[in-house]
């Protein structure tokens, strides 16, 4: 739509099904490039992507031409299929249902990029589930304990 100007920065966080540590160091960069391609093909701009073997964080600039839920559906479906087609894991790979999405002002973007790029150091201090709940609380997001990303172990 002409004369529509936006600046929307979203961090999404989502986990591997059952919080299994299936994302390997060997192919994680390839996965991140694939997911970046999905987001870019939908005319959004990835600012940072990184994660751990059991979850991913993505910060991107979002255009208002698509709903966040539709974009996340594409990201999760297509990346799951790609991982399975590549045979990167034994059995079937899938992402856990749902995701967290958090918006940031432009002034916060450098801090969030740094935070996402330093996931390994960050998770030496805090477990993923605790990190996720902290994000939900920091953003005053109502949540149901039954649906928080629980580890199967």
Q: Is the pLDDT of residue 22 over 70?
A: yes
Tokens coding 88: 């990167």
Q: Is the pLDDT of residue 98 over 70?
A: yes
Q: Is the pTM of this model over 0.75?
A: yes
* Mean of pLDDT values over 73-89: 97
* Segment 87-95 long-range contacts (CB within 8 Å, at least 24 positions apart): 88/24, 88/27, 89/22, 93/16, 93/17, 93/22, 94/16, 94/17, 95/14, 95/15, 95/16, 95/17
* Mean of pLDDT values over 19-30: 94
Among residues 35, 13, 48, which one has the least CA distance to residue 129? 13
What integer pLDDT is reported at residue 85 of this predicted model? 97
Strand bridging mode 100-104 / 9-15? antiparallel
What integer pLDDT is reported at residue 81 of this predicted model? 98
Q: What is the CATH number of domain 9-147?
A: 3.30.70.1290
What integer pLDDT is reported at residue 150 of this predicted model? 59
Helix (H, G, I), strand (E, B) or coil at 114: helix
What integer pLDDT is reported at residue 37 of this predicted model? 98
What integer pLDDT is reported at residue 153 of this predicted model? 47
Q: Is the pLDDT of residue 13 over 50?
A: yes
- Domain ranges (residues) in the chain: 9-147
Question: Could you tell me what percent of the chain has a pLDDT over 90?
Answer: 77
Tokens coding 91: 């059995």
* Mean of pLDDT values over 115-130: 90
Mean pLDDT for the chain?
93
Return the residue matching tokens 């005053």.
140
What integer pLDDT is reported at residue 3 of this predicted model? 83
């Amino acid at each position: 739509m002409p004369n529509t100007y936006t600046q929307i920065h979203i961090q999404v966080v989502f986990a591997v099904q059952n919080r299994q540590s299936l994302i390997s160091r060997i192919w994680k960069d390839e996965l991140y490039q694939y997911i970046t391609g999905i987001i870019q093909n939908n005319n959004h701009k990835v600012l940072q992507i990184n994660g751990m073997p059991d979850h991913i964080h993505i910060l991107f600039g979002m255009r208002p031409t698509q709903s966040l839920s539709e974009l996340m559906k594409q990201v999760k479906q297509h990346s799951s299929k790609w991982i399975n087609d590549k045979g990167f894991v034994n059995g079937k790979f899938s992402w856990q249902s749902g995701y967290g999405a958090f918006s940031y002002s432009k002034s916060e973007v450098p801090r969030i990029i740094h935070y996402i790029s330093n996931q390994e150091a960050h998770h030496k201090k805090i477990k993923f589930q605790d990190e996720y709940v902290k994000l939900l609380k920091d953003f005053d997001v109502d949540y149901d304990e039954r649906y928080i990303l629980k580890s199967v172990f």
